[in-house]
């Protein structure tokens, strides 16, 4: 459950700039709204990275456990 909460949270962080209204972020809508595609790809990339990071940590734990037994 923790994994999905953190995943959702960090992905939302990528989306947060959209919520802010103002001239400084109008570029997000420029060039035919191409930045929506950029954000979508970023969300997928961030998500997969989180999965890899968590799997890495779990594997390290398992490796240490095996090492301690020997």
Partner 1 sequence: MNGFWWKIGGALIFLYVLIGGLVIPIKPGITSVTPSNAKSGEEMSFNVVGYNTHFLAATKVRAWLKLDSIHAISAKEIQKITENEAKFTFSIPANFPVKEAVQPLSLIVDNDVDGVFVQPNAIFATVADSSTISGEAWKSSGIGQFSVVKGIKFPYRNILNETIRNTFFHIALWFAMFILLIVGVYHAVRFMNTGDMIHDIKSASFNKIGIMYGVFGLITGSVWAKFTWDTFWTSDVKLNMTAIAMLIYLAYLVLRGSSSDHDRRAKLSASYSIFAFVALIPLVFIIPRMTDSLHPGNGGNPALGGEDLDNTLRLFFYPSIIAMALLGTWMSQLLIRYEKLKEKVLLKNQ
Residue ranges that bind partner 1, judged by CB under 8 A = 1, 4, 7-8, 11-12, 15, 18, 29, 31-34, 36-37, 39-41, 43-44, 47-48, 51, 55, 58-59, 62, 65-66, 69
Q: How far is the CB of 29 from partner 1 (least distance, A)?
A: 7
Distance of CA 16 to the CA centre of its chain: 12
Q: Which is nearer to partner 1, 22 or 33 (CB)?
A: 33
DSSP 19-59: H--SGGGGGGGHHHHHHHHHHHHHHHHHHHHHHHHHHHHHH
């Amino acid at each position: 459950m923790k994994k999905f909460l953190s995943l959702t949270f960090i992905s939302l962080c990528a989306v947060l700039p959209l919520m802010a209204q103002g001239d400084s972020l109008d570029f997000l809508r420029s060039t035919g709204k191409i930045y929506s595609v950029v954000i979508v790809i970023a969300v997928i990339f961030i998500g997969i990275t989180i999965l890899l990071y968590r799997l890495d940590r779990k594997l390290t734990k398992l490796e240490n456990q095996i090492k301690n037994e020997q």
